[in-house]
Structure 1
Amino acid sequence: MSTGIRFRLSFMMFLEFFVWGSWFVTLGTFLGTNLNATGAQIATAFSTQSLGAIIAPFIIGLIADRFFNAEKILGFLHLVGGGLMFYMYNSTAFAGFYPFLLVYMILFMPTLALVNSVSFNQMADPEKSFSGIRVWGTIGWIIAGASISYLFHWDSSENLAQGLLRNTFLMASIGSIILGVFSFFLPATPPKADKTQKLKISEILGFDAIKLLKDKNFAAFFASSILICIPLAFYYQNANPFLAEIGVADPTGKMTIGQVSEALFLLLLPLFFKRFGFKKTLLVGMVAWVVRYLLFAYGNAESGLPLLIVGIALHGICYDFFFVSGQIYTDSKAGAKFKSAAQGLITLATYGVGMLIGFYIAGIVADMYLLEDGTHIWQSIWLIPSGIALAVVIFFLIFFKEDSKKVSNLN
């Protein structure tokens, strides 16, 4: 791969996740402080990610894989997305904000697959080359969060009261438009599917891989993957509002510690996987969710701040040790015929169904522990996902037996 192509792909990844990180982390805080949204409304807003994840395979399978170059679709979706972000920036009520967010997420979620497609198309050996490109996405997310807290201070108590957090959508809008224009200068990635071949919806959604559930171990893993997304949704939806409400300084900037941790533990994952195997790796990831929420429950903005920082830093173990290792395990179990279908199925189940349920439950719980003064009983809120994660750990311990099959990707 030439230096020029490597730079373009890296900048594409940087902008992709800079745009997402510009507004997604602070969405719950924005909705609660700027639009006076209830917990149920905030849950509805976050669930647009799940709806986008469910619809995304149709956009990729029906359009990108068959008719148009991936980089051109990527450019079009981000240009439209930039316009939608600008409308969200100007919204003054949840009823006017939500429709734009819903359409935006339906258009944005397919771009996560498109940037991968554009990258893979330029790589002779993706296993060696992709991580060096993808890491720029994590850097983009970190810089977005750090800018909000340490450069612009939009999430400070004073600026929150003035409604300046809405500027995150303007920043995302500008970033999306830049990426939209830049996408048309990316390497050409033409469609590879045969337009004349009859298209199966079951293939697009990954349903052809459903026969893998006959394997008891995979079925236990599949069920655990859906269930663990319930506590995961609590983090995405409530972590930033929680930190802001209890008075933690620069909450968005501090949450970027989670992305730094994610990058570091991603490097350690292969070593851990080889030494301890899949079951122990997954268990560590799930137990980390239990511990993280206990730390959130008993931490505070003063003497308990180290507990919160450790809880945020556990994100690398929580995400990498369960979700990334789970993707690798799915790939190893699927075999050549069902590799793509299996990944599609697990993505649909987790980011689609699992997190849709999780956001709904998180919204109900947030409203249950809402006080008259607008604050929350956060200890009670965080103990619930901790308990759910513990139940998933027990379920997995009982029904998943150590798999003797080696994972080729890590050997």
Structure 2
Amino acid sequence: MPIKIRLTVMNFLQFFVWGSWLISLGGYMGSQLGFSGLQVGSVYSTMGIASVFMPGLLGIVADRWVNAERVFAVAHFIAAGALIAAAQVTDFQTFYVLMLINSLFYMPTLALSNSVCYNVLTRNGHDVVKAFPPIRVWGTVGFIVAMWSVDLLSWTKNTSQLYQAAVAGLFLGCYAFTVPPSPPFLDETRRKSWVSSLGLDAFVLFKHRNTALFFLFSLMLGAALQITNAFGGPFLDDFRATYPGSFGAQHPNLLLSISQISETFFILLIPFFLRRFGIRNVILFSILAWVLRFALFGLSNPHDRLYLLILSMIIYGMAFDFFNISGSLYVEKVAEPKIRSSAQGLFMIMTNGFGAIVGGYGSGWVVDHFTNAEGQRDWPSIWFTFSGYALVLAVLFLLIFRNKRMIATRSL
């Protein structure tokens, strides 16, 4: 089988595992396990906890001692085992610990998957810049297919979603052993300090006011992503009582998958927007898109206002992609060449690590605040609160950032 196809299958399965439960697990925890909003948010925050240090630690193992594809495979085996165990329990503490173990070993595989692809493509004489994006896009397809299968099989409210993810993870772990080897680069990596390998040398960037503020905004915007991951499904599920026959209430995962489809579209628009408006304005568009994303949720329903829900899903692509990619480019500009890799790792730690932790716990607290004694949630107030949060960030970003490196980028 051609190497590109083999790597495409690996990327498809990598995100199929995640898509099987990421969007729908919140609904299962709330409706079937009876977890509070704060408890649901804390489970989702485990991905942030894992993202702070585990990618760096397993990256060191893959760089120094063990082939990356083997580390990747073992991590998937452990993560799948945790999912199977989580499907057997109903109490919060045990469930939380098992999902934390899953996150500790699944989240590093996102970076390891890229490393394996880059290594294999390079060793086989391919141009990584040209060859990898068409391979990676199949990861998004895998995520969407997983969401659809869980929805169409009516698994959004039961443990079958966890079993689907676990089976796919076990298969992917076995499949990884058939991928061409990605051995450690012994001479290069063993000369690097542990501080450098973990990306800690990039913290020198916090000495600069504008860059420090940018990383702070990265954390706060990373929090926004966790809000809809954790509560988009429960939001639509609650409409089953008021609009029992509506498409959105019956098929929440299908509706939410429009967000992932939108991502693939907005990725293609990024080069035009960067050339036309520059990095600073593109990031501002992203923050404003989060304002609209949440506000439209607050105004919508799956019946006569279904179009507002769909519009919110489409806007998600701009909200997510414009910040992640433009922010990465900004980091590339401000970091010295010797710490660029570490700086990119720091960007991911702030958004997917600390940002996810803040978003998980913060959104859970807001949801609980607007939940009455009977368990009924005031969703418009919840989403307008999140929209107001994003609007405050947009205003502060507009007022604070006058960094020339962020504004004068239209030559990209």
TM-score, L = length of structure 1: 0.92
Q: How does 1:241-256 map to 2 (within 5 A)?
A: 241-247=234-240, 248-256=249-257
Once the two structures are TM-superposed, the CA of residue 348 in structure 1 deviates from its matched residue by 1.1
Residue in 1 that maps onto 2:356 = 355
Q: Number of matched residues?
A: 399
Residue matched to 2:8: 10
Deviation, 1:355, is: 1.7
1:280 CA displacement: 1.0
Matches within 5 A, 1:27-46: 27-46=25-44
Q: 2: CA distance between counterparts of 1:138 and 1:392? A: 28
- Choose from 181, 199, 211 the match for 2:204: 211
Equivalent residue letter for 1:38:
S
Cα deviation per residue 1:105-125 (whole Å; 9 max; x = unaligned)? 101111001100011111443
Q: What residue number does 1:52 align with? A: 50
Q: How much has 1:196 moved relative to structure 2?
A: 8.5
The question of whether the paired residues in 2 share the 8 Å contact of 1:285 and 1:321 is answered with: yes
Task: Name 2:323's counterpart in structure 1.
Answer: 322
Is structure 2 residue 142 aligned with structure 1 residue 140? Answer: yes
| Contact 1:66/1:194 (8 A) holds in 2 | no
Partner residue, 1:76 = 74
Q: Deviations over 1:180-222 (max 9, x none)?
A: 1000001111112448846534323322122333444333322
Aligned residue for 2:128?
126
- Uncovered stretches (5+) of structure 2, i.e. residues with no partner: 241-248
Per-residue CA deviation, residues 263-305 of structure 1 (Å, 9 max, x unaligned), is 1110111111111101110111000000111101111122122
Please report how far the alpha carbon of residue 223 of structure 1 lies from its aligned counterpart in structure 2 after TM superposition.
Answer: 1.8
Which amino acid is 2:140 matched to?
Answer: T
Please tell me whether residue 167 in structure 1 is matched to residue 168 in structure 2: no
- Unmatched 5+ stretches in structure 1: none
In 2, the alpha carbon distance for the partners of 1:85 and 1:103 equals 9
Partner of residue 246, structure 2: none
What SS is found at the alignment partner of 1:23? coil
Instruction: Report deviation, 1:95.
Output: 2.8
Is 1:278–1:402's contact at 8 Å kept on the other side of the alignment? no
What residue identity is the alignment partner of 1:138?
Answer: T
Change beyond 3 A, Cα 1:219–1:91? same
Partner of 1:20: 18
Contact 1:370 1:376 in 2 (8 A): yes
For 2:186 and 2:289, locate their aligned partners in 1 and report how far apart those are by CA, in whole Å: 41
Contact 2:59–2:112 (8 Å) recurs in 1: no
Secondary structure of 1:65's counterpart equals helix
1:229 maps to: 222
Question: How far did 1:404 drift?
Answer: 4.8
Give CA deviations for 1:148-168 in whole Å, capped at 9, x if unaligned. Answer: 122x1223xxxx4xxxx2100
Deviations 1:364-390 (A, max 9, x none): 111111123322001111111111111
What residue number does 1:299 align with?
Answer: 300
1:27 Cα offset (Å)? 1.4
Number of the residue aligned with 1:100: 98
1:191 aligns with 2:189: no
Asked if the contact 2:151–2:252 (Cα under 8 Å) also holds between the matched residues in 1, the reply is: yes
Q: Distance in 2 between matches of 1:385 and 1:128?
A: 38
SS of 1:314's equivalent?
helix
Most deviating of 373-382 and 201-210: 201-210
Percent of paired sites with the same residue = 36
1:265 aligned residue: 266
In structure 2, C-alpha distance between the alignment counterparts of 1:403 and 1:11, rounded to whole Å: 42
- Judged with a 3 Å threshold, the aligned counterparts in structure 2 of structure 1 residues 140 and 196 are, in CA distance, closer, same or farther, namely closer
Local SS of the residue matching 1:37:
coil
Whether contact under 8 Å (1:216, 1:400) holds in the other structure is no
Counterpart CA distance in 2 for 1:206 and 1:391 is 30
- CA 1:196–1:179 in structure 2 vs 1: closer, same or farther (change >3 Å)? closer
Residue identity in the other structure for 2:262: S
Aligned letter for 1:142?
Answer: I
SS at match of 2:64: coil
